[in-house]
Structure 1
Amino acid sequence: MKKSTLVLVTGGTGFVGIHTVLQLLQQGYKVNTTLRSFSRKDEILNTLRESGITNFEDLTFFEANLTSDTGWDEAVKDCDYVLHIASPVPAIQPKDENDLIIPARDGALRVLKAAKKAGVRRVVLTSSFAAVGYSIDPKNHIFTEEDWTDENAPIEPYIKSKVIAEKAAWDFMKSEGGDLELTVINPVGITGPVIGGIYPVVQDLLNSIIEGVVKETPLFTFGAVDVRDVADIHIKAMLHPDANGQRFLATTSGSFAIYDIAELIKKRTSGNGK
């Protein structure tokens, strides 16, 4: 069945995207993946080759951008499932929040519309904990998939973009989804093994700790989840019959402060940890 199952992974050059493509190929699926530019195709092939993939006959690349309709119909044609992982992530916060909100929202809608048109069974959308818990006082609160960040709260453009994009996806399903199914994954901070020089968003923070730029521990903690688990969750959500219409938080137990991360890095680099 896997050999005849075609899965589109959007954002194959991203940290979660490349790990998801890798796991799908390892499990015997046929995979389409989108790149914003074919100029990165060789980079992805080399990354997968370094990770043990030797046969690429089941992998096809498509050039498509979240800000344009071009390429999406071709990328999703004949696909059974779509894992929509691609999303704009800024190096710095933009001056105009719409620079993030519009491509995140419209990109999700483009993928959903193309998937519905192509007769895809289910779309798994990568959202974020940013869409869940950034306007709720965490004191004595247990976060669940019922929680939503208030898009009208004073939040950063990236966080706001995740809320608006996910809500737009659910609204589309209510009004136009038809037989198409949708599942959403809401990860906390994603980290884990770097392959092919493709780094997680949190890498800048980790580098700042390693290089001694961060000299104090701020009064906040955050969750973390391994990228391999996030990729696995996407594939499980793609297949499980009860996952339709659900949101799933992706996190490990507990949370971390900057101090905890610094201590862990110190142990690992000093040879005293395993």
Structure 2
Amino acid sequence: MDKTVLVTGGTGFLAVHTILQLLRQGYTVKTTIRSFSRKESIIRALNEGGLTNPDNLSFYEADLSADTGWDGATKNCDYVLHIASPFPAEQPTDENELIIPARDGSLRVLKAARDAGVKRVVLTSSFAAIGYSTDIENHIFTEADWTDEHAPIMPYIKSKTIAEKASWQFMEREGGEMELSVINPVGIFGPVLGDISSASLDTIIKGIVAGQITESPAFTFGVVDVRDVADLHIRAMLHPQANGERFLATSDGAMSFYDVAQLIKRHRPSLASQVAGMEPTGKAYYVRMSNQKAVTTLDWHPRSKEEALLASIDSLFNR
């Protein structure tokens, strides 16, 4: 491939899997990191993923909160996959601590990409920007749905919604010839590479296996494998019909914490001893989502939610 792709936020769980797939497919890859001290972490992760030669990968120091570095990172790139996004360890007291970097960071990347003559940007948004303003009991969520940022929602959900809307508005007003596609993943699971994990794995999987999560609330969530989300980004980068579209990235079905606990007990009995009994604390209404747009338009075929979760468990506890 005589094409260069920038992947933002290379130390992220999804980003490092995406970098791995791009390098395997022969692309020249650039990635941004907030500090060059994290470079070795990415190289170790890629080695664990089976990549022995990272010669086609280069690193650029850039932060979503500052303009410095983005011109160099986007220079001579054909595509940008803007995956970097602030994700809080805990909800901040001031929602703007999340909203401003998410929104302004996305706009910063889009402007730099446009000025560099990038053909298409693929932006990683979230199901958070789709599924939090409608009664889940009687609805099947699709890409046509939007979360209402004025509703009483958590700061992270609000930040993803505002950042994505701002990105579409930028494209309409100032995008020029550049194209935009958006991916909206649900909870991302799958195998850890090196020491690069994710909030979903560190809180849900580790918490259930360690017996720290003892109750299963009515809340249910979609599951998707990180390898499939990386693949969907590359498909959206290349496919002519992906321009101007958003794609909901989810496996079929949804899970509760209780379901995950039962999956572990059933399929990984060696880990079952600490898993709490975890009876449901209320009636769980399973969120329903359609992945048909990605399946039909981009010929995307994700792994099952069970396979994604078991891959997470195996990579965390059988290393």
> Which interval holds the TM-score relative to the shorter structure?
over 0.9
Report if aligned partners of 2:130, 2:145 keep a CA contact under 8 Å in 1: yes
The question of 1:57 aligning with 2:88 is answered: no
2:289 is matched with: none
For 2:266, what is the secondary structure of its paired residue? Answer: helix
1:40 is matched with: 38
The question of 1:230 aligning with 2:237 is answered: no
**Cα deviations by residue, 1:156-175 (Å, 9 ceiling, x for unpaired):** 10000000000000000010
- TM-score normalised to structure 1 length: 0.97
1:102 is matched with: 100
2:216 is matched with: 217
How far 1:221 moved relative to its partner? 1.1
2:268 is matched with: 269
- TM alignment of 1:1-274, pairs within 5 A: 2=1, 4-203=2-201, 204-270=203-269
How far 1:134 moved relative to its partner? 0.9
Q: One-letter code of the match for 2:229?
A: V
Distance in 2 (alpha carbons) for counterparts of 1:217 and 1:48: 35
Distance in 2 (alpha carbons) for counterparts of 1:164 and 1:232: 25
Instruction: In structure 1, list runs of 5 or more residues that go unmatched.
Output: none
Note the aligned Cα RMSD (angstroms): 1.3
2:313 is matched with: none
Q: One-letter code of the match for 1:220?
A: F
Distance in 2 (alpha carbons) for counterparts of 1:140 and 1:117: 44
Distance in 1 (alpha carbons) for counterparts of 2:161 and 2:234: 23
Q: One-letter code of the match for 2:116?
A: A
How far 1:262 moved relative to its partner? 0.3
Q: One-letter code of the match for 1:232?
A: D
How far 1:266 moved relative to its partner? 1.7
For 1:139, what is the secondary structure of its paired residue? Answer: helix
**Cα deviations by residue, 1:123-155 (Å, 9 ceiling, x for unpaired):** 000000000011111112111111000000110
Q: One-letter code of the match for 1:245?
A: G
Distance in 1 (alpha carbons) for counterparts of 2:31 and 2:158: 26
- TM-score normalised to structure 2 length: 0.83
Distance in 2 (alpha carbons) for counterparts of 1:132 and 1:51: 32
Q: One-letter code of the match for 1:206?
A: I
Comparing 196-205 and 126-135, the one that deviates more = 196-205
Distance in 2 (alpha carbons) for counterparts of 1:97 and 1:120: 32
**Cα deviations by residue, 1:199-252 (Å, 9 ceiling, x for unpaired):** 122121222211112222111211000000000000000000000000000001
Q: One-letter code of the match for 2:9?
A: G
Instruction: In structure 2, list runs of 5 or more residues that go unmatched.
Output: 273-305, 311-319
How far 1:53 moved relative to its partner? 1.3
Report how many aligned residue pairs link the two structures. Answer: 272
Distance in 2 (alpha carbons) for counterparts of 1:231 and 1:152: 31
Identity rate of aligned residues, in percent?
65
For 2:88, what is the secondary structure of its paired residue? Answer: coil
